[in-house]
């Protein structure tokens, strides 16, 4: 009941949840860490790729996560949505799977690219565009695609995975990173290693332009046809002036609809290199026999160091900003404050604030807005959003009850934020945060797929998967004074962007479909 | 118990031997364009590790209550659930929404000993949970805590189970939450489409689809909540506990609570009628979207039906995953949709629906819908192939063990089978039946259960952008569905907006 809109916000931003924490009773996580150290092996291959194998013999299955330290934040200028577009390509097969004749297909694909270039050059002419010529070029582009399609065995990659028992097969592109994952019966480990290493190293821009149309459809579903999706896209774009966190993750329509296969392959070449990839396998595997197999296949991935870091740093905000959408949907309110990245020493303090403000029926926002004032159906804070790798936002939102307005949400949220600045949280609240963080870490240890995600993510973000356990030190050190200090520093007017949906009455003569009272 | 313990191990091995005879060629030695030899088929697939999922201990009390205990010592937690027969389908239509309100107010009200708010403080300080939920055929109370807190949390959960004290303030709070859901139910295109499609299949006033309205939730009283609770608690409860405990000790604790209860009353029989949709095209206009959500629906069957295995295989061929007919055609070949899928859902105790969903940009609404309808018709005209049958079986059977790869799943499955009165070895026999399905079975199932002329097509989309219009589907003029949310008299508005 608390999380419907939260899930929505997160999915709109394509954010991968910061690795779910998980663990033990009274600080006894160290016992579990020892167990995991015994069962977990990390190996860095000569090409720079990191393999993590964690044995867990509950059932004859394993799960994996391939974690690429690149996402849509890395999309070059004018190519928003590219990382996500590439993720779709990674399901199209390789030179060996998904083709009837790769040698011939390769030539045909080159012709598709040339035809697209010719079409685009004409299409983008600022003056003197020849519409007749444009049509001829477009026809040629479609013909070239058709020519290439004759070599395709559609969806063969995923079909082979599914026929071999792949379960929960999917991928996610966030702003910060891209994850590929599924689970399989343990006797398919080698088959999986062949498939996964193949698509990472040997990808073919097959059916790229058709897939581009699919992604444009996905944008319609996630963003354009969803009031909250539209609001959040505008909210992010307003909050950021320089950094790519302000850019639509799925891509601006004009850009995502003109991404080319050449651009996608260039992205792949730059970011899908050994040093930028961690692969974690968790489940019923025997490390001794599995590692050589994994090593053999994953060594195929091109060697390369991590790509250079981004230079852009979002400048300090000095003016309060707001977005108001007026339309015939129900009201909504959200506001965000810039905060540092996950590497900031205060990261756990932000988590503490988020927990105390938002976690469950004891949280301050629930008790105040939902229970006592009875003005909201749901209210919480989420941090960090839309990513965590770079300076992000601390976001608060509220869903008004019928008859209540975004302005009431704003005032009520601000009142709770103000309290954080003027008085200390209680000992009980702080202790509750620490107890829950511990228990959450423990709980997350019982699931192959969740563990594979966490191990790969912590290994990438901290250089050591053990941080999954060691983070408890930082959590335990958070003080009441820290919370007050950080709140005072971050939750200030000039650092704020707000966005709201104001419900517009239907135009005269049209039917009311659930608008304002 | 013994026969159930053997659900999986043996049976999965047979299928996996097929590559074992091939020499385990090193991938690196394969020619680069090895598509004829199918490189992946040369990779050895060893015998699957033997696996006997640990079945829960089942205890049937004299009063009819059934207890399942599943030990799991990996992590120091204990959680449990009491499943209570009776849900929203059993509520009088004038009080639609009662279950939503009940399942919230139950927990937030708390007991005479401890109010819901105090319970929140107590539980959250221990990172523990007690929750109450409602569904169409049941309600449930669940708990979860660290092992060291489990006795306290269990007692509290039992106090809430047997002695809730519903209070007006929490009833009002729950009513407001429901009201929010009601006034927002037309914001999301997908939500509208799914809801209205179900109403086309079952009828708008069916116990399975009737929706809460501001007026009906306004009529729910404290007396209703108490009466519902007292009535359903007399039913045949199912108790499941899983975690880091010793079964003998846990059995004693759970018995002590449930054994003294009087004999459980039998679950009431239901006599629902399911007519299926009136065929034709239906339309709902939504001007703030640029894609259409298309639902193609008909009446389906329930899980008892002996043809279920053949239908499940047919479904997999039609819409199961990337290799299915619908996905290949509508998404891959035509590039018309990001999402396409569906098939028969198979409820355990009443007929389900046949439903295919297509999400497509407004202008391609008619093309995408026609393509999906063609694929549905083709189930009766385009012969199924051995390759399709094999793909469907491989997909389903090779991933079958993910139905019981965790102890929590094993326990949940046994509770479900008990609740609906299915044999405990259902998964085992179901697996065997799936293996035996033949092409002739699938063809016969399609003929028997897929009736393109009995389907309704619902389009939710932006009429100003849908060109050609929905009438071009060739199903006659689309019937517009009115989804206006009824507003009761202001004096009855339970919105909390007039404070």
Residue A15 near residue A174, CB atoms below 8 Å: yes
Flag residues of chain B having pLDDT under 70.
1-37, 489-499
pLDDT for A513 equals 39
**Closest CB from B287, B395, B493 relative to A162:** B395
pLDDT for A1 equals 35
Residue B12 near residue A185, CB atoms below 8 Å: yes
pLDDT for B493 equals 43
Per-chain mean pLDDT for chain A = 91
How far is residue A57's CA from residue B437's CA, in Å, rounded to a whole number? Answer: 32
Percent composition of chain A: helix, strand, coil (DSSP 3-state, to 5): 50, 15, 35
- Identify the closest residue of chain A to B461 by CA–CA distance: A225
pLDDT in tens, A375-398: 999 999 999 999 999 999 999 999
Sheet containing A277-283: order of strands: A40-44, A50-55, A277-283, A61-68, A178-185, A167-173
The stretch A116-144 carries a mean pLDDT of 96
**Closest CB from A220, A361, A404 relative to B290:** A220
Q: Which helix (H) or strand (E) holds A488?
A: helix A480-490
A31: confidence class by pLDDT, cuts 50, 70, 90? confident
The stretch A315-344 carries a mean pLDDT of 95
- Which of B290, B316, B399, B409 is most worth mutating to test chain A (most A CB atoms within 10 A of its CB)? B399
Q: How many residues does chain B have?
A: 499
How far is residue A103's CA from residue A97's CA, in Å, rounded to a whole number? Answer: 13
How far is residue A110's CA from residue A17's CA, in Å, rounded to a whole number? Answer: 39
Query: For B17-144, where are the alpha helices, taking DSSP H only?
Result: 98-109, 116-124
The encoded tokens of residue A60 equal: 């004859």
pLDDT for A20 equals 32
- Which of A33, A60, A88 is most worth mutating to test chain B (most B CB atoms within 10 A of its CB)? A60
**Closest CB from A185, A432, A443 relative to B125:** A432
Task: Determine, for residues B398 and A185 on separate chains, whether the beta-carbon distance falls below 8 Å.
Answer: yes
Closest listed residue to residue A472, CA positions, set A429, A428, A439: A439
Q: How many helices (H) and strands (E) does chain B have?
A: 17, 12
A103: confidence class by pLDDT, cuts 50, 70, 90? very high
How far is residue A423's CA from residue A102's CA, in Å, rounded to a whole number? Answer: 68
For residue A448, what are the CA distances in angstroms to A59, A60, A283, A395, B402?
Answer: 10, 11, 6, 31, 12
Task: Determine, for residues B146 and A25 on separate chains, whether the beta-carbon distance falls below 8 Å.
Answer: yes
The encoded tokens of residue A265 equal: 């392959």
pLDDT above 50: residue A305: yes
The stretch A89-98 carries a mean pLDDT of 95
Q: What percent of chain A has pLDDT over 90?
A: 84
The stretch A214-237 carries a mean pLDDT of 88
- Identify the closest residue of chain B to A403 by CA–CA distance: B497
A9: confidence class by pLDDT, cuts 50, 70, 90? low
Closest listed residue to residue A203, CA positions, set A115, A353, A91, A109: A91
ipTM above 0.85, yes or no: yes
Task: Determine, for residues B496 and A403 on separate chains, whether the beta-carbon distance falls below 8 Å.
Answer: yes
Sign of CA dihedral A204, A207, A209, A211: negative
How far is residue A43's CA from residue A65's CA, in Å, rounded to a whole number? Answer: 15
For residue B368, what are the CA distances in angstroms to A506, B232, B286, B330, B464?
Answer: 31, 46, 19, 7, 18
pLDDT for A176 equals 97
Contacts of B335 in chain A (CB under 8 A): 210-211, 213-214
In DSSP terms, B297 is beta-bridged to B355, B456
> What's the gap between Cα B137 and its chain centre?
12
> What's the gap between Cα B20 and its chain centre?
38
- Identify the closest residue of chain B to A517 by CA–CA distance: B487
Closest listed residue to residue A90, CA positions, set A310, A277, A325, A236: A277
**Closest CB from B35, B361, B497 relative to A220:** B361
pLDDT for B23 equals 31
Contacts of A438 in chain B (CB under 8 A): 127
Residue B169 makes CB contacts below 8 A (sequence gap 6+) with: none
CB pairs under 8 A between A and B: 256
Closest listed residue to residue A399, CA positions, set B187, B218, B210, B132: B187
């Amino acid at each position: 009941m608390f999380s419907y809109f939260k899930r929505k916000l997160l999915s709109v931003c394509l954010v991968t949840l910061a690795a779910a924490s998980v663990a033990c009773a009274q600080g006894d996580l160290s016992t579990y860490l020892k167990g995991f150290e015994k069962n977990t092996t990390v190996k860095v291959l000569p090409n720079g790729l990191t393999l993590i194998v964690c044995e867990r013999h509950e059932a004859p299955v394993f799960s994996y996560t391939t974690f690429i330290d690149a996402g849509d934040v890395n999309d070059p200028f004018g190519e928003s949505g590219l990382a996500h577009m590439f993720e779709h390509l990674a399901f199209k097969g390789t030179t060996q799977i998904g083709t009837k004749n790769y040698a011939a297909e390769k030539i045909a694909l080159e012709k598709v690219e040339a035809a697209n270039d010719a079409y685009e050059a004409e299409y983008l002419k600022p003056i003197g565009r020849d519409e007749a010529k444009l049509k001829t070029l477009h026809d040629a582009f479609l013909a070239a695609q058709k020519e290439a399609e004759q070599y395709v065995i559609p969806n063969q990659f995923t079909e082979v995975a599914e026929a071999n028992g792949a379960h929960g097969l999917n991928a996610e592109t966030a702003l910060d990173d891209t994850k590929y994952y599924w689970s399989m019966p343990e006797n398919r480990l080698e088959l999986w290693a062949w498939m996964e290493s193949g698509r990472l190293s040997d990808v073919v821009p097959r059916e790229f332009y058709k897939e581009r149309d699919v992604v444009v459809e996905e944008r319609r579903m996630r963003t354009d046809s969803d009031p909250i999706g539209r609001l959040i896209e505008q909210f992010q774009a307003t909050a950021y002036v320089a950094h790519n966190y302000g850019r639509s993750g799925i891509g601006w329509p004009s850009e995502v609809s003109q991404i080319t296969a050449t651009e996608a392959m260039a992205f792949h070449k730059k970011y899908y290199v050994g040093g930028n990839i961690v692969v974690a396998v968790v489940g019923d595997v025997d490390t001794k026999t599995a590692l050589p197999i994994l090593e053999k296949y994953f060594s195929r991935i091109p060697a390369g160091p991590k790509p250079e870091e981004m230079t852009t740093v979002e400048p300090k905000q000095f003016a309060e900003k707001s977005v108001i959408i007026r339309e015939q949907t129900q009201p909504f309110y959200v506001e965000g404050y810039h905060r540092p990245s996950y590497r900031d020493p205060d990261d756990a303090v932000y988590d503490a604030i988020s927990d105390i403000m938002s976690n469950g029926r004891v949280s301050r926002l629930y008790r105040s807005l939902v229970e006592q004032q009875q003005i909201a159906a749901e209210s919480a804070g989420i941090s960090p959003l839309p990513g965590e790798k770079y300076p992000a936002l601390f976001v608060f939102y509220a869903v008004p009850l019928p008859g209540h307005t975004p302005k009431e949400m704003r005032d009520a949220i601000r009142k709770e934020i103000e309290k954080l600045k003027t008085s200390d949280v209680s000992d009980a609240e702080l202790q509750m945060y620490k107890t829950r963080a511990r228990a959450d870490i423990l709980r997350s240890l019982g699931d192959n797929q969740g563990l594979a995600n966490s191990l790969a993510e912590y290994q990438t973000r901290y250089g050591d998967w053990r941080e999954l356990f060691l983070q408890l030190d930082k959590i335990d050190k958070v003080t009441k004074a820290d919370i007050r200090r950080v709140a005072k520093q971050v939750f200030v007017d000039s650092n704020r962007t707000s966005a709201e949906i104001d419900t517009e009455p239907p135009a005269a003569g049209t039917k009311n479909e659930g608008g304002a009272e | 118990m013994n026969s159930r313990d053997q659900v999986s191990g043996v049976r999965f091995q047979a299928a996996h031997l097929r590559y074992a005879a091939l020499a385990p060629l090193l991938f690196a030695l394969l020619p680069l364009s090895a598509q004829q030899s199918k490189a992946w088929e040369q990779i050895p697939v060893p015998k699957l590790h033997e696996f006997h999922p640990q079945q829960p201990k089942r205890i049937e009390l004299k009063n009819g209550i059934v207890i399942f205990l599943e030990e799991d010592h990996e992590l120091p937690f204990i959680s449990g659930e009491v499943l209570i027969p009776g849900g929203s389908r059993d509520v009088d239509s004038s009080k639609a929404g009662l279950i939503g309100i009940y399942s919230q107010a139950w927990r937030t009200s708390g007991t005479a000993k401890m109010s819901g708010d105090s319970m929140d403080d107590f539980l959250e300080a221990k990172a523990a949970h007690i929750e109450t939920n409602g569904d169409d055929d049941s309600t449930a109370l669940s708990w979860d805590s660290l092992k060291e807190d489990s006795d306290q949390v269990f007692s509290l959960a039992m106090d809430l189970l047997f002695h809730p004290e519903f209070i007006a303030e929490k009833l009002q709070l729950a009513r407001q939450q429901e009201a929010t859901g009601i006034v927002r139910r037309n914001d999301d295109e997908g939500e509208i489409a799914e809801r209205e499609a179900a109403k086309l299949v079952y009828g708008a006033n069916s116990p399975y689809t009737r929706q809460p309205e501001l007026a009906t939730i306004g009529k729910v009283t404290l007396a209703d909540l108490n009466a519902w609770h007292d009535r359903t608690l007399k039913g045949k409860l199912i108790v499941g506990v899983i975690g880091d405990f010793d079964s003998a000790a846990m059995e004693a604790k759970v018995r002590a609570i449930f054994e003294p209860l009087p004999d459980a009353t039998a679950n009431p029989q239901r006599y629902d009628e399911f007519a299926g949709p009136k065929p034709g095209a239906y339309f709902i206009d939504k001007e703030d979207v640029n894609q259409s959500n298309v639902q193609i629906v008909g009446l389906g069957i329930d899980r008892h039906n002996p043809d279920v295995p053949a239908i499940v295989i047919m479904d997999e061929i039609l819409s199961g995953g990337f290799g299915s007919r619908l996905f290949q055609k509508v998404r891959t070949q035509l590039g018309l949709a990001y999402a396409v899928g569906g098939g028969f859902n198979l409820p355990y105790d009443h007929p389900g629906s046949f439903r295919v969903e297509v999400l497509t940009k407004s202008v391609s609404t008619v093309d995408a819908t026609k393509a999906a309808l063609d694929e549905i018709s083709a189930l009766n005209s385009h012969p199924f192939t051995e390759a399709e049958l094999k793909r469907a079986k491989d997909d389903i059977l090779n991933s079958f063990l993910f139905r019981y790869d965790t102890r929590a799943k094993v326990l949940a499955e046994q509770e479900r089978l008990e609740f609906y009165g299915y044999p405990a070895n259902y998964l085992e026999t179901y697996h065997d039946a799936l293996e035996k399905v033949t092409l002739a079975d699938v063809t016969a199932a399609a003929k028997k259960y897929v009736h393109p002329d009995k389907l309704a097509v619902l389009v939710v989309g932006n009429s100003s952008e849908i060109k050609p219009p929905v009438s071009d589907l060739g199903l006659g003029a689309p019937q517009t569905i009115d989804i206006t949310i009824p507003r009761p008299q202001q004096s009855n508005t339970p919105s909390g907006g007039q404070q």
